[in-house]
Amino acid sequence: MLSQLTTAGKVKKIFAHCLDTIKGGGIFSIGDVVQPKVKTTPLVADKPHYNVNLKTIDVGGTTLQLPAHIFEPGEKKGTIIDSGTTLTYLPELVFKEVMLAV
């Protein structure tokens, strides 16, 4: 939908997806960033999905200590933002660190 709206000149090529607490909430904004505290990152060019270059993961304000290579893009690697699924796939090392942090 974002690509169709931007191609038609209806919105800027930007979206924000911010999750709130475990109780739900958050924002999904198309065409603009609606809150000044939202951090942005460009999409990876020439990819068929909404790929981003993930650099760190924070849990409860603490940055997880993960090796940088874990986020490198490549064959069957990388990070995709997909608001249409309930599943999150993580490398085993990342999963373990996230579970320890929560």
pLDDT at 94 over 70: yes
What are 1-29's pLDDT values in tens digits? 777 888 888 888 777 777 777 777 777 77
As beta bridge partners, residue 77 has 74
Phi, psi at 2, each rounded to 5°: -60, -45
As beta bridge partners, residue 17 has 28
pTM: 0.60
Domain boundaries, the chain: 1-40, 41-102
pLDDT at residue number 100: 92
pLDDT at residue number 36: 65
Q: Which two tokens mark 30?
A: 């198309």
**More confident: 60 or 100:** 100
